[in-house]
Amino acid sequence: MNREPDMLESTDDSTPPPKPPWYRRIGLGGVVTALFALLKWKSILSFLQGIFFLLKFSKFGVATLSMVATIGVYAWFYGIWWAIGFVLLIAVHEYGHMFAAKRQNIPVTAPVFIPFLGALIGLKEQPKDAATESIIAYGGPVFGFLATVLVHAAAYVFQSPLLFSLAFTGYFLTLFNLIPASPLDGGRIAGAVSPYIWFLGIPLIVILIWFSFSPILFLVLLAAVHRAWEFWKHRNDAYYHTNPGFRFKMGIGYLVLMLLSGILTYEAHLTAEALRPR
């Protein structure tokens, strides 16, 4: 006896049981999970609102946001710890400018960080002469150099390739900024010694561009040529009349800082290379 048709007919007539309502399908665990997620999301929103509220009413809001953004960009390429260390060195450098400016009774803005360009502060008043401008310019490399010395010392204590790499970068950053061509710090320092030194710094930038072309270096070159041309047109301006004693002291300080930065840049580079994994 063939019972296949009966079996098929029985199968076709069967209907699936009705689904329970959606609130029963979620269950107690689902409700608890949803409430927890909602509370967590509200906590996150409240935290973010608090951060933005503080930044909105703080004069350092832009500085903080630009600093965090710059760390994020560098972390993408070089790792988070190197990025934090490098941006902190830049921050110390800028604080040196701010400290020196305040000592000269010149108000400044908080620094703004720009990835691959460094950072900058704004002077709310122009310096009265080249000597004042050189003091403000000198503060940045000095503070940055001293901070790098601390990093370098910590690198020896912990034998850390990361810290040696940061030390090399910090020294090199100081050395680059000391090139005697305005708008670099070295150019503003040299302006108090003798603006004619700028005509030696400009060829140095050209040489750097020749060996390692960079749009940033090209922009620095254009700015340096413009500043030198403006000085040449107004070379008898009283702005550049500096006391000989101040010129001598600033010149010695400039040369010593440049020499130390050059020697320690080379030393940190050799040590970092020796400790690099092969």
Residue 3 lies in a domain: no
Q: Are residues 45 and 152 in the same domain?
A: no
Q: What is the DSSP letter of 194?
A: -
Nearest of 144, 113, 108, 115 to residue 258 by alpha carbon: 144
Residue 14 lies in a domain: no
- Contact at 8 Å (CB) between 144 and 170? yes
Position 111 scores a pLDDT of: 87
Residue 142 or 238, more confident: 142
pLDDT(217) > 90: no
Nearest of 194, 193, 200, 86 to residue 144 by alpha carbon: 86
pLDDT over 70, % of the chain:
77
Mean pLDDT (the chain, rounded) = 81
Q: Are residues 107 and 242 in the same domain?
A: yes
Residue 147 lies in a domain: yes
pLDDT(194) > 70: yes
User: Which pLDDT band, with edges at 50, 70 and 90, does 159 fall under?
Assistant: confident
Position 11 scores a pLDDT of: 41
End position of a domain, from candidates 57, 75, 104: 57
H or E element at residue 150: helix 130-158
Residue 8 lies in a domain: no
Residue 6 lies in a domain: no
What number of other Cβ atoms are within 10 A of residue 109's Cβ?
Answer: 15
Tokens coding 121: 């502060």
Q: Are residues 105 and 238 in the same domain?
A: yes
For 121, the domain range is 61-275
Omega within 30 of 0 (cis) for the link into 17: no
The model's pTM: 0.75
Q: Are residues 68 and 167 in the same domain?
A: yes
pLDDT over 90, % of the chain:
49
- Beta partners for 118? 114
Q: Are residues 23 and 148 in the same domain?
A: no
pLDDT(267) > 60: yes
Q: Are residues 23 and 81 in the same domain?
A: no
Position 274 scores a pLDDT of: 76
Q: Are residues 26 and 74 in the same domain?
A: no
Residue 208 or 55, more confident: 208
Q: Are residues 174 and 224 in the same domain?
A: yes
End position of a domain, from candidates 57, 73, 108: 57
Position 9 scores a pLDDT of: 41
Q: Are residues 53 and 189 in the same domain?
A: no
Average the pLDDT over 129-137 and give the result. Answer: 94
Position 147 scores a pLDDT of: 97
Residue 264 lies in a domain: yes
Residue 116 lies in a domain: yes
End position of a domain, from candidates 7, 38, 57: 57
- The count of structural domains within the chain is 2
Q: Are residues 42 and 119 in the same domain?
A: no
Tokens coding 111: 């620094």
